[in-house]
Chain A
Amino acid sequence: MAADRDDRYELFLQRFTECEGRLRAFLWSMLPTWDGVDEVLQNASLVMWRKFDQYDPDTLFVKWATVVCRFEALKYRRTKARDRHVFSDDLLDVLAHESAEEDEELFLREKVALRDCMDGFGDNQRELLMSAYAKGAKIKEVAEAAGKTPTSVYKMLNRLRNKLHQCIEAKLALEPEI
């Protein structure tokens, strides 16, 4: 029995790690706070492991896992994030469904495109982006210290994000190389 359980766990780990990135991205679109995503994913992974017996191996794990994540995220939102502006449950259902259907190869191409586009940026631009994205980074404080308005720093960042997004879209529009 122990060995059986062990195999099950191995299988679970494999399945879970395979789609962790996708689940994380889905949760991020649903409740864009870093702590929220971690907590929900942690809870969801516990639920998945407890209910792994109920998972039908003939269906895609990621679909099942996305459903669990969506449920846990709604629960989290009800208790912790009541005051935030959030999407309707209907929209989340659609997003959950579509993100579980998304093509794995597209994910990989996106990652490659992101790296390539980042490489195309100057060092300064990259560092600005990284500084802004680091956990706990306070653009307002930094902007103040530099004698810039937070708005102008945000504008710079938004321009960079736009550029990055357009670059990724442009690369993905090309034929895949693999």
Chain B
Amino acid sequence: MHQRDENEWLPLTQDYFNGEASGEDVARLSEILGASAEARAGFRRFARADLALREMAEASLPGDRPMIVPIADGSKVRRGWGGLGNWLQAAAMFVMAGALVFLLVERGRGSGGGDTDAPAGPRLVQNDDFADGSLAVLTHAVGVEWEGDLAYAEGAALRPDTIEIAKGLLQIEFFSGATVVIEGPAKFELIDPMFARCALGRVRANVPHFARGFTIESGDLKVVDLGTEFGFAAERGGAKELHVFDGEVTVEGGAAGDEPTHLLTGTGIRVEEESLDFIRIEEDAFASSELIASLASAAADEQRRAWLRYAENLKANGDVQLYYSFDNQVAWSRRLSNDKKMIADPLYGAIVGCRWAEGRWPGKAALEFKRPTDRVRISIPGEHRTMTVMAWVRIDGFDREYSSLMLSDGWEAGGAHWQVSRDGRLVFGVNPTGNYVSEPLLGQQHLGRWLHLATSYDADAGARHFVNGRQVWFTPVSAGRAIEVPAGELGNWSPGYWPPKGADVRNLNGRMDEFLVFSSALDEAGVRSIYERGRP
């Protein structure tokens, strides 16, 4: 008998999980596994890793995982891509395929381009709804002072629109694959995935080959990229500069003439009124993706540290009844620590089902609520005629009639239900005083982004809802009931009977990375100052 390779099971196992194994292979694998406990242990470990990788890959795509729970007898598994249409799945696959193609091509030609033009990858597809005509994603915004009403958060899907900043750096990734880093002051208009106008500002454009033809227009000047990288600057006086760092660009219009002029690597031009001069290119004069990434991470670190210092005050604040910072958690622990410093009852939250995920800063922990079983069991001490509930949440979908933020079990007298309706209303109910329901405030554009939500209740004054530090709703209340939550849940609801029907399933689809309960009814200034310090 020939010497057996003790790892023979490994390639066979790979084929087995790839669906590539022949009947013979499976028979051979069965034989090896049947004979060796060690091979079986390796095989099971491989299966777990394989499954974990699939779950990771799926987590980076839109839509949620199918949920596994007996929701009603005979009901079928709901297969998840959320509410996204088939074409969007196709789009997601396309973007991913694009990423892989790019990766292979990059390797194939062995360019020394480094990582600056790394493939956009599945990151491009976010939970933001781009069925509505969005054409790009804002991936970084560092030190930005926005002009006008519009301010975008990192991760926001961008529609055709004009973006104006007084200062700071933005990185925008077009769905075509082109990436621009813009330095303010700037006025930049997004027209379509292949076309933008720049009236003011310094722009560095990185255009992979499949976005060839990406065009920036500025006044009567038109710059068309034929692949790779260039810098473009539009000054207030009307002068413009073009620096070709790599590849080929054509320029036409105005002083550049009506015919396209081809400019190659290392060429720079300056256009001023009727004159056109050749200039020396300056790569360092245009902020790169690398720079913005390092600044963004430094800024996030700084904000996070500032927040941690401030959070120490919150922990010591006598008004704070419960404080779950979701930080400093041990990965395997199923207890959610209450950070409010207390001598007596520590009031741990009990995590059921939820997984740990990244919070609103890199390195900050959050809990992810996905399945109808996911929840954190909590208890709020005491009876409260005034109370404020507050959370940083990232909603990934309005899957249910009501999505729970914090709901007391059942619907007892004094119970409180804090939730978001399917149509984006903030809802706060106190039994039997009433339900305080805002207008629809949240929509598709809020999905996948970190939001600060708060509601304050004063049994003798009123209920207020706050979104990102702004009061958005007020309903007067008189002689209301005090709130009592001896048992309740974050991100879900136990209605008190089984099986739950329709609107009784209220699991949150999203993440939470901070939750606070105050024993006072905070006003807008109070909520806003906490929001301002804690915003990502």
A residues neighboring B (CB under 8 Å): 2-3, 5-6, 9-10, 13-14, 16-17, 20, 24-26, 28-29, 32-35, 38-39, 41-42, 45-46, 48-50, 85-88, 90-91, 94-95, 98-99, 102, 107-108, 110-112, 114, 118, 123-124, 127-138, 141-143, 145-148, 153-154, 158, 161-162, 164-165, 168-169, 178
Contact B96 A131, beta carbon cutoff 8 Å: yes
**B296-339, CB < 8 A from A:** 330-332
B residues neighboring A (CB under 8 Å): 10-11, 14, 16-23, 25-27, 29-30, 33-34, 37, 40-54, 56-58, 60-61, 66, 68-70, 73-74, 76-77, 79, 89, 93, 96-97, 99-101, 103-108, 115, 118-119, 121-122, 330-332, 352-353, 373-374, 494, 496-498
Determine the chain A residues whose CB is within 8 A of the CB of B61 once the complex forms.
134-135
Q: B63 to nearest A CB, angstroms?
A: 10
Contact A32 B19, beta carbon cutoff 8 Å: yes
Of B49, B54, B93, B96, the residue contacting A110 (CB under 8 A) is B49
Beyond A26-B44, A32-B16, 12 extra complex contacts between A and B, CB < 8 Å: A5-B497, A16-B69, A85-B27, A107-B48, A129-B53, A131-B57, A131-B96, A137-B93, A146-B108, A158-B11, A165-B10, A169-B45
- The chain B residue sitting closest to A23, CB to CB, is B68
Determine the chain A residues whose CB is within 8 A of the CB of B498 once the complex forms.
5-6, 9
- Once bound together, how far apart are the Cα atoms of A137 and B22, in whole Å? 21
Q: A74 to nearest B CB, angstroms?
A: 16
Q: B217 to nearest A CB, angstroms?
A: 31
Determine the chain A residues whose CB is within 8 A of the CB of B19 once the complex forms.
32-33
Q: Give the interface centre of A3, A88, A102, A131 by most chain B CB atoms within 10 Å.
A: A131
Determine the chain A residues whose CB is within 8 A of the CB of B105 once the complex forms.
146
Contact A98 B40, beta carbon cutoff 8 Å: yes
- The chain B residue sitting closest to A165, CB to CB, is B46
Residue pairs across A and B with Cβ atoms less than 8 A apart, 17 shown, are A6-B496, A17-B373, A25-B47, A26-B44, A32-B17, A32-B50, A42-B66, A42-B77, A110-B48, A114-B52, A127-B119, A130-B60, A133-B53, A133-B57, A134-B60, A142-B97, A164-B49
Q: B505 to nearest A CB, angstroms?
A: 13
Q: Chain A at the B interface: mostly helix, strand, loop or mixed?
A: helix
Contact A141 B51, beta carbon cutoff 8 Å: no
Q: Which 10 A-B pairs have the closest CB atoms?
A: A133-B57, A29-B47, A85-B26, A146-B104, A17-B353, A134-B57, A46-B70, A42-B77, A25-B48, A130-B57
Determine the chain B residues whose CB is within 8 A of the CB of A14 once the complex forms.
352
Contact A130 B56, beta carbon cutoff 8 Å: yes
- Once bound together, how far apart are the Cα atoms of A30 and B27, in whole Å? 14
Contact B57 A38, beta carbon cutoff 8 Å: no
Contact A131 B99, beta carbon cutoff 8 Å: yes
Contact A128 B100, beta carbon cutoff 8 Å: yes
Q: Contacts A46-B73, A133-B56 given: A168-B45 contact, CB under 8 Å?
A: yes
- Once bound together, how far apart are the Cα atoms of A96 and B455, in whole Å? 49
Q: Contacts A38-B66, A130-B57 given: A108-B332 contact, CB under 8 Å?
A: yes
Contact A42 B50, beta carbon cutoff 8 Å: no
Of B16, B77, B99, the residue contacting A127 (CB under 8 A) is B99
Contact B44 A29, beta carbon cutoff 8 Å: yes
Determine the chain B residues whose CB is within 8 A of the CB of A129 once the complex forms.
53, 57
Q: Contacts A14-B352, A133-B57, A134-B58 given: A94-B34 contact, CB under 8 Å?
A: yes
